[in-house]
Amino acid sequence: MDDPLLSVENLHTQFDTRDGTVRAVDGVSFDVDRGETVCLVGESGSGKTVTCESVTRLIPTPPGEVTDGRIVFDGDDLTEYSEKRLRNVRGNRIAHVFQNPQNALDPVYTVGAQIVETMQFHRDVGDAAARRRAIDLLERVGIPKASTRVDDYPHEFSGGMRQRAVIAMALASDPDLLIADEPTTALDVTIEAQILDLLADLQAERDMAVLFVTHDLGVVAEIADRVVIMYAGKVMERGDVHDVFDQPSHPYTQALLDCLPGQGTELRPIEGSLADPVDPPDGCRFHPRCPHATEACRREGQPPLHAVANGQRASCVYYGSDRDASTVLDGPAASQEVNDD
């Protein structure tokens, strides 16, 4: 089997704040293969965005810093790259799309000029061909009359159109890996579907890998090959999307899926609030909100990612060899049964 295109190994990223050190990403590991889509999922503050920004060192330093771990991209550890070397990877082999298009577009240049510039910065392509490709990309992301709108300035585009232009710009360099952080959140469902279709087409055409951050499990179900569920800077569960949706194994994944409308039950918000990022709970980080938490969950560290089945893994004590996983999979909530040891 081929090596993964991207391997995030035991990544630690922290921020020094006035309130103390925030361990935003605390020992996160996952792979992304060529041509596949991996979705990072979790509530706000789970560390999804910081994980993505750590890959090409986009986190503001200081106050942020990658303190440990490896980010192996196509065989090379990016944490060992100089800033100069990393600039040749960023926007070229690895492209980012963020939620807010304002930060990515320069108001004094036309949209087309910015797409052309991105293309020509990384590729040897003439002006006419680059312009044709810019128009093609704008058409493909759903900009009407792209051949004339290519000469518009960003302020002449609506918010949704600007976001689509940013996606076109990211695709202009034919990246091997596209990191997309909630790129469709601000778009209406029709345009969102169009963008997701476009990404799927491009993956098929170019074997492009996508690391996609979202809190929308409907989008995950539609586009993901694999899913990584994050909570309070840690991976709670990861696996093939079908396995995770068919049999959510970690109580946090179960709670997220229970929040989805159309599950046959009323929408159920997850009880409790997110962990304090400066002073997260000891033991399993999810224990204050977990209906199955036992004394061991509060006392011991975050459980390892135990194998569940078919490569599916869950960071929960119940998947250890000495426990009965059926308690979590289909048993009643055990929060009051503090009798495990």
| Helices 111-122 and 159-171: angle between axes, nearest 10 degrees | 20
Q: How far is CA 71 from the centre of its chain?
A: 15
Is 177 a binding residue for ligand SF4 by CB under 6 A? The answer is no
Which residues between 217 and 256 bind ligand SF4 (CB under 6 A)? 250-251
| Helices 127-140 and 111-122: angle between axes, nearest 10 degrees | 120
113: CB partners within 8 A, 6+ apart: none
Q: Looking at beta carbons only, is 112 or 251 nearer to ligand SF4?
A: 251
Q: Looking at beta carbons only, is 133 or 234 nearer to ligand SF4?
A: 234
By CB under 6 A, name the one of 162, 287, 306, 313 that touches ligand SF4.
Answer: 287
Task: Give one DSSP letter per residue of 226-290, joined into a string.
Answer: EEEEEETTEEEEEEEHHHHHHS--SHHHHHHHHTSTTSSS---PPSS-PPPSSSPPSSSTTGGG-
Q: Looking at beta carbons only, is 14 or 254 nearer to ligand SF4?
A: 254
> How many residues line the site for ligand SF4 (CB under 6 A)?
13
Stretch that binds ligand SF4, among 8-16, 107-115, 272-280, 292-300 (CB under 6 A): 292-300
Is 297 a binding residue for ligand SF4 by CB under 6 A? The answer is yes
In the complex, what is the shortest distance from the CB of residue 28 to ligand SF4, in angstroms, rounded to a whole number? 17
Stretch that binds ligand SF4, among 23-31, 51-59, 69-77, 284-292 (CB under 6 A): 284-292
In the complex, what is the shortest distance from the CB of residue 312 to ligand SF4, in angstroms, rounded to a whole number? 15
325: CB partners within 8 A, 6+ apart: 249, 308, 318, 319
Stretch that binds ligand SF4, among 26-34, 94-102, 261-269, 313-321 (CB under 6 A): 313-321
CA-CA distance, 29 to 40, in Å (whole number)? 12
Nearest one of 141, 79, 135, 83 to 110, comparing CA atoms: 135
Identify the three-state secondary structure at position 105: coil
Is 317 a binding residue for ligand SF4 by CB under 6 A? The answer is yes
Stretch that binds ligand SF4, among 28-36, 77-85, 263-271, 310-318 (CB under 6 A): 310-318
By CB under 6 A, name the one of 286, 308, 313, 325 that touches ligand SF4.
Answer: 286
Burial 309-332 (b: 16+ CB within 10 A, else e): eeebbbbbbbbeeebebebbbeee
Binding site residues, ligand SF4, CB under 6 A: 250-251, 284, 286-287, 290, 292-293, 297, 303, 316-318
